[in-house]
Amino acid sequence: MLLSTYAQFVLLLAVFIAVALCAVSVSQARSAKRFANKCYVTLDKYRKQVEPRREVARLAAEVAEMADAHAALMKSHSKLRSRIGMRENRERKRDAASSEVVTEGLSSTDKTQLRLAAKAQNLL
């Protein structure tokens, strides 16, 4: 059975279309492979750039934490120095005031009168 020329033409056209579709598919596959390779290279490059940035970010966070701890320590130290300074100031005032207490004519056994004299000078 021989095919008519029209049938042969249609068959030849179908084969041509199939081959053309195969060629387009291969072209698309190659294009997809190139795109995937490009994405891989880009991601690998990005990953290599991100590692040092992560390390820098970690170190920056650690330095910030240490700076906060140092600031808190300095604030605590300042409060402590202030407290010590106030205590020393009060002791100096007390020592100066106690040396100025008028004890003339009072015996050291008369505590009531000593207390009243100290209150009069705002020592108690």
- Over residues 85-103, the mean pLDDT reads 75
pLDDT band of 92, cuts 50, 70, 90: confident
- Over residues 88-115, the mean pLDDT reads 70
Most confident of 13-22, 84-93, 97-106: 13-22
The residues, ordered by sequence, that sit 6+ positions from 103 with a Cβ below 8 Å of its Cβ are 114, 117
Please name the amino acid found at residue 8. Q
- Over residues 58-80, the mean pLDDT reads 92
Cβ–Cβ under 8 Å, residues 122 and 93:
no
- Over residues 88-111, the mean pLDDT reads 69
Residue 108 has pLDDT above 70, yes or no: no
* Greater pLDDT, 27 or 51: 27
pTM for this predicted structure: 0.40
